[in-house]
A = this chain, B = another copy of it.
C-alpha cells in the first residue's frame, strides 16, 4: 500500500465519529422531493452538499436549476488529462417518512442504536453520498486526487428523475467522463460485496378491452356478448406459453444471450431458489424454463401483470356484465431490447389475438432501456479490487431485476458505463419506517471508496 493510501485510510478511521455527525446533519434536512411543502428543504439539502464540495476545493461548483429540484454540479480535474475522469452520481432527496407513528425514533433526527444509524435517507442514499464525500476528504488529506472527478447530485430520484434525462442530454460536454460511479445499488449481504453490472429496462402499458357500450345485466345479456373481462383474461393468459416464455412476437429476438462464464459468475449469487422461496412465501417458484432464479430476474426479460380492473369489485355480488376491462402490464427488458420495439410487439400481439367481438386499446405509459456494464472494464475492476481489499473476498457480480433510469441515460447521452455498487443492505428498510444504515458496513464502504479512487488512478 502506498503511503498516501495508507494515510487516507488512517485519516478515515480517525474521523469516523465526525463523518457520522456529517451524515446526521444531512439526515436532519427533510428533503422529501415529492412534497410541495418541502421545496425549501430540498434546496437546503442541495446547499448542504454544495457546501461540502466547496470545502473539498471543488471547481465549477454550481447549484443548477432544472424543471424541478436543482442539480448540484462540481468538478476536480487536477489529476490531469492523462488520468481518467469519473462522474460521481448521487441523489440528495428522500422518500416521505409517513407513516410517522411507525418510526421508533424521529425520522429526521438520526439516532444510533447498536450497529445502526436510524433515519430517513440514512441508507437511501444520503449515507452513500456522505460516504463518498468523506472518502474524498480522506484522500485529499493525504495528497491530491488520483483521478479527475465530476459530481452530479440530483434532487428528484425518489420521484422518478423527471428532469434528469433532459439535463444530461443538454449538458453532454459538461458531464463528459470516462465512466460513472453510482453507490445506490447496495450489497446482497453485509459479508457479500456486490457490483451490479446490469439493470433491466421497463416498458409499461395499460391494456383496455372494450365490450358493450355500457355495463349490462349479466342475466339478460350473458351468453350473447363477449364479456370484456373474460376477453382480457384470454389475452393475458396467451401472453405466456407453458414454458413460461413471453409470446409477444419477436420478444426475444434482440435479447443478449448468457455465455458459460457469465452464468458461472451469476451462480455465485445467494439469490437461489431457497432465497426467493423464503423472501416471497410462495410454495413453488415459477418462471422461464432453462434459467436459474438469478438469471430469470437479472438477465431475462419478463412480462408482468401489475393490475387488473373490471366491473364490480366490492363486497358481495352484483350481476353485471362489465362494459370494459383493464390490465396494467409491464415488461422488464434486458440488453439489447428496445422499449419502442416491445410497444410494437404488444400491439402486434393484440392485433393477432384480439377477437372481433371486443375492441382493444394499448396505452404505453413508460419506456426505459436496460443497461449493462462490461465486468472486465478498468472501472469495474478497480472498484472490484477495492471491495476485495476491504472485505477480503472477491465481490459477486449481479444483474439486478429493477431499473435505474439514470444508468441507461448515461449510456444513451454520454456513451459511458456505470459502476453500480454501494453499502446499503437488503434489510435497511429503505422507503419504509425505521430506515437504517449498518455502520460497520458504512465505515468499510468509506475505506472501499478510498481504495477505489487510488485503484482507478492507477488504472
Chain A residues in the interface with B (C-beta under 8 A):
200, 202, 204, 211-214, 216-227, 229-230, 232-234, 236-240, 276, 279-288, 293, 296-297, 300, 302, 304-313, 316-322, 325-328, 330, 332, 355-359, 365-366, 400-403
Contact = CB atoms under 8 A, between A and B. Distances in A.
A226 B288 CA distance: 10
A355 to B, nearest CB: 7
22 contacts: A213-B280, A213-B282, A217-B401, A220-B297, A221-B276, A221-B279, A222-B401, A224-B287, A225-B282, A229-B236, A229-B308, A230-B236, A230-B304, A230-B305, A233-B236, A307-B311, A308-B308, A308-B325, A309-B309, A313-B326, A318-B328, A319-B330
B310 A317 contact: no
Contacts of A357: 282-286
A104 to B, nearest CB: 21
A459 B366 CA distance: 73
Given A211-B282, A220-B402, A313 B328 contact: yes
Contacts of A359: 283
Contacts of A355: 286
A320 B307 contact: yes
A313 B307 contact: yes
Contact of A213 (B237, B281, B311, B316): B281
B230 A319 contact: no
A288 B332 contact: no
Given A232-B233, A282-B212, A318 B313 contact: no
Given A280-B213, A317-B330, A237 B226 contact: no
Number of copies: 2
Given A236-B233, A237-B238, A276 B225 contact: yes
B316 A223 contact: no
A306 to B, nearest CB: 5
A317 B365 contact: yes
9 pairs of A and B residues whose beta carbons are closest in the complex = A219-B402, A213-B281, A226-B286, A237-B237, A229-B305, A223-B296, A233-B236, A307-B311, A233-B233
A114 B370 CA distance: 68
A218 B317 contact: no
A322 B305 contact: yes
A309 B314 CA distance: 10
A319 B222 contact: no
Contact of A332 (B223, B234, B326, B400): B223
A347 to B, nearest CB: 18
Nearest to A311: B307
A230 B238 contact: no
Contacts of A296: 223-224
A309 B313 contact: yes
B322 A312 contact: no
A178 to B, nearest CB: 28
A312 B326 CA distance: 11
Given A237-B234, A283-B356, A309-B313, A219 B403 contact: yes
A66 B90 CA distance: 70
Nearest to A239: B230
Contacts of A221: 276, 279-280, 297, 401
- Of A220, A281, A316, A326, most buried by chain B (CB within 10 Å of CB) is A220
B219 A332 contact: yes
Contacts of A321: 304, 306
A417 B424 CA distance: 73
Contacts of A308: 229, 232-233, 308-311, 313, 325
A408 B317 CA distance: 19
A322 B286 CA distance: 15
A224 B307 contact: no
